[in-house]
Structure 1
Amino acid sequence: MDPCERLRNYIANFKESLKTLKVVDSEAEKLLDNAVRYYQDSRYYLEKGDCITGLVAISYAEGILDSLRELGLVEFSWVKAKEVRVLAAGSFDIIHPGHVEFLRWASSLGDKLYVVVSRDSSYKRLRGYEPIFSDVDRAFVVNSIRYVYKASIGSEEDFLKPVEEIKPDLIALGPDQIDVEFLEKLLRERGLNAKVVKLSSRVYGYSSSSIKEKVCRVWCKNI
């Protein structure tokens, strides 16, 4: 198993297990605080992409809890957390900080973030012109972003087909994407029960279209 995927699972299980925790003796509280700090460290290292160090940190946290239980100072049960799948979609042509922040936000909503990248044909049909990068290249770049568990290319005929295949618990939308109520209606008609959440505004005001315009303006001026 990939170290980062393993770390995500350990973190999710630790979080759920903490909900069952009962302190029997107040002498456990100091060591319990250390366990929680190691747990928080593991989440920090996961976000930074240092999953090996994160695995070490979560192992320390688990070890402290097990020791406290063996000493009779706390009571708890190890619980396997339900995996929360999040789905996001977009063209992602010319990745910019706004895209990265959107994906970071989307990934924070669950355990694994799946991203569907629009096909070249769909992009051209909606916008009237070709994307700068092909759908294969755009999916490759998105898949390289650490917040993304898996990126794939969407369906040309049915944009809800990936939703049926991935079966997400949540769908994360950008501020300029489809209306939440309309999408929820389409999902219910398909028997899909994913919750839809939407980012309220653009991050840092970036847009791929404005970046392309600036590139054309600056590049053409200096050739």
Structure 2
Amino acid sequence: MTDVLAQGTFDLLHPGHLHYLQEAAGRGDRLHVIVARGENVTHKQPPILPDRQRREMVAALEPVDAAHLGHPDDIFVPVERIDPDVLVLGYDQHHDRKDIADALAEREIDCTVRRASAYEPDYEGAVLSTGRIVERILARHE
């Protein structure tokens, strides 16, 4: 059984999120997803939606076998508990693949790190960024 792990903020779900999770699920038999806690999101605006709501929405997606909230202090705690065979980073996530692989090896987690491909929708107008969704909503309500 190959366990795959994906992780992210997953605020205001969009087709790019679904593409990422479908691709990650295709790399193994069981997909676990860690949903970042809002207080740990420091590389961009904090999530609009509460942690538990974002976890609940991710858990409801067809490719996902289990959704977990991230640890409040150490992002690697749930990774150690899940002990995945493959960790798939999102296409545009800020994490460096080699840095993550090194951190996993340092913690003796035997796991391959991959990066998902970009989602290329076959239709016009797809909004593939939570920030852009928010911008569009604000622009319409000015």
Question: Aligned to 1:106, which of 17, 20, 24?
Answer: 24
Report which of the two has the higher share of strand.
2
**Residue number in structure 1 paired with 2:35:** 117
Report which of the two has the higher share of helix.
1
Pairing 1:159–2:75 present: yes
Largest Rg, 1 or 2: 1
CA separation in 1, counterparts of 2:53 and 2:63? 18
**Offset at residue 130 of structure 1 (A):** 3.6
Pairing 1:93–2:11 present: yes
CA separation in 2, counterparts of 1:210 and 1:106? 24
Q: How many residues are paired up? A: 136
CA separation in 2, counterparts of 1:145 and 1:134? 18
Unpaired runs of at least 5, structure 1: 1-82
Question: Is contact 2:20–2:117 with CA below 8 Å preserved after alignment?
Answer: no
- Divergent runs of 4+, >4 A: none
Q: Output the TM-score relative to the length of structure 1.
A: 0.58
**Offset at residue 203 of structure 1 (A):** 4.5
Name the CA shift for 1:103/1:182 in 2 (closer, same or farther; >3 Å). Answer: same
Question: Is contact 1:102–1:203 with CA below 8 Å preserved after alignment?
Answer: no
Q: What do the CA deviations read for 1:76-113 (whole angstroms, capped 9, x no partner)? A: xxxxxxx1000000000000111111111110110110
CA separation in 2, counterparts of 1:165 and 1:209? 31
Unpaired runs of at least 5, structure 2: 122-126
For the aligned residue pairs, the C-alpha RMSD in angstroms reads 1.4
Q: Aligned residues: percent identity?
A: 34
Q: Output the TM-score relative to the length of structure 2.
A: 0.90
